[in-house]
Amino acid sequence: MAIFCVLLGLFYSFLHILSSFFSPPRHQHPTRKLPPGPRAIPVVGNLHMLGTLPHRNLQTLAQKYGPIMCIRLGLVPTIVVSSPALAELVLKTHDTVFASRPKTQASEYLNYGTNGIGFTEYGPYWRYVRKVCTLQLLSSSRIVSFGPLRKQEMNLIVKQVRNAAERHEVVDLTEKVSELVKEITFKMIVGIDNKIDSVDFRRLVEEGMRLIVTFNLADYVPYLGALDIQGLTRKMKKLSKATDKIIDKKILEIIQNSSEQQQQEEEDSNNYNNKPMTFIEVLLSLMNKPMNDHYDQPYTIQMTNIKGVIVDMIAASYETSVAAIEWTLSELMRHPRVMESLRQEINKVVGTNRMVEESDLPKLTYLDMVVKETLRLHPLAPLLVPRESMEDIEINGYYIPKKTRVFINTWAIGRDPTIWSDNVEDFFPERFDGSDIDFKGHDFQFLPFGSGRRACPGMQLGLMTIRLVVAQLVHCFDWRLPDGILPGDLDMTEKFGLAVRRTKHLLASPTYCLSI
């Protein structure tokens, strides 16, 4: 009987694919024109054209078909936008139409049925959860409250690197930065400081982020989803269960902690003073409490929502922060002039008798330009997180049907010579000197954190971490590439993921610079 059901499913899938091949695309309107794009082939559509670095290949296709392009990913109609003007139409002018997210198996299994924030469909629940995150978790006061944690973890990595410098060792900066950001992220969001749980949780988070961006046939040819041809459904279920086990363990610890134990932890000399509540503790304190009475459907936070939000927060803050720091340090080592200019600015503001404090960061204007230039050339999410149209709409004279997936190719926009001049491929932070372009998504030629309703709510926290780590490592150490590698020969090959990362780890030899 089971074999019969499988064969029947394959038969109906074959009929659907055959009909789609010999008929116009099902999203084609008889009197309205879709954007131009390459011809699709049966089953895969245009998926074969994406390759391992889809942002680059889509830029090449856009040069042929234009800044708004229609492709088909399996059976899913998809629009790719590659210009600031059209990005503004999608992210600002018609933001309400394009504010939703497509459902995927990864978001279903790894984000607790899209109970988080990043991959959740647009609607009253999403608006409620975003408000909770903005007011309760990502406010300026809460971010500042974790300053002692960042300082404590930053001091540890400086000490480790200083010891390596004294031994004339080569440092794996990718691993050091990953460990640093992991410690800050896990302790701030979940409160995990047990070494075993921390290592296991990091492995699970990294595996989850890999699965989220893995091409899943079930997302694009739903008729084949039940067959689990790639085995991804099985892997995601297993990963979800393991992640859930660690989070449940931490929640149980929090619930069982007595006020006396909490007081003892606060007074422990190994902990920083006035220890703030972790994100998961804040959410647990809000459980079953309606935020306000202004919703048609008054939502309350339940345990599943807490887990979904926590997983989203970790995935978004960990991977993207590591990638941004890694690319910034890579570009600085490739461009000694820029590295020296940044070091001179930091020395002028901070001196060499102390380390960088978070209060110094607003004064470091060249650091700001360096980070902007890095995110222009290496956007953390080069296609942003995909959106989905909630109704039929016309954009720039083209018909976009309901349920169309939309990608904004910020990588292509950031390397457009008509926007950034002929030196677009050069790492030149001074291009932002005197410019009012900021990180907030108001300037559609520069969208490192997205824009509109679905812009990244953790921008302020991410920038704090990126700026602090880069400033501290440049201030405390002089860095040289190992084994006689010249700056221009540093391998900058990238690999696609939830955030685009370096293919090879960044290795460098440090020399301690401060007089303390």
In this structure, the dihedral spanned by the alpha carbons of residues 185, 189, 192 and 197, taken in order and rounded to 10 degrees, is: -70
In the predicted structure, residue 9 carries a pLDDT above the cut 50: no
Mean of pLDDT values over 459-484: 97
Name the residue among 357, 367, 348 with its Cα closest to residue 155: 357
Mean of pLDDT values over 73-93: 97
The pLDDT score that the predictor gives to residue 292 is 57
Name the residue among 50, 9, 84, 11 with its Cα closest to residue 396: 84
Q: Is 133 annotated as a binding residue?
A: no
Q: What angle do CA 476, 480, 481 make, to 5 degrees?
A: 140
The pLDDT score that the predictor gives to residue 297 is 62
The pLDDT score that the predictor gives to residue 25 is 45
In the predicted structure, residue 17 carries a pLDDT above the cut 60: no
- Domains of the chain with CATH codes: 32-258+275-512 (1.10.630.10)
Name the residue among 48, 53, 50, 60 with its Cα closest to residue 493: 53
* Length of the chain as a residue count: 516
Query: What confidence category does residue 217 fall into, taking pLDDT thresholds of 50, 70 and 90?
Result: confident
This prediction has a pTM of 0.90
Query: What confidence category does residue 2 fall into, taking pLDDT thresholds of 50, 70 and 90?
Result: very low
What tokens were used for 328? 């910034």
DSSP 391: S
The pLDDT score that the predictor gives to residue 202 is 81
Task: Render pLDDT for 321-355 as a digit per residue (tens, 0 to 9).
Answer: 999 999 999 999 999 999 999 999 999 999 999 99
The pLDDT score that the predictor gives to residue 24 is 40
Q: Under DSSP, is residue 247 helix (H, G, I), strand (E, B) or coil?
A: helix
Per mean pLDDT, which of 223-232, 305-314, 382-391 is the most reliable?
Answer: 382-391
What angle separates helix 303-334 from helix 124-132, to the nearest 10 degrees? 60
Query: What confidence category does residue 273 fall into, taking pLDDT thresholds of 50, 70 and 90?
Result: low
What tokens were used for 498? 């939830």
Is pLDDT larger for residue 3 or for residue 402? 402
The pLDDT score that the predictor gives to residue 266 is 52
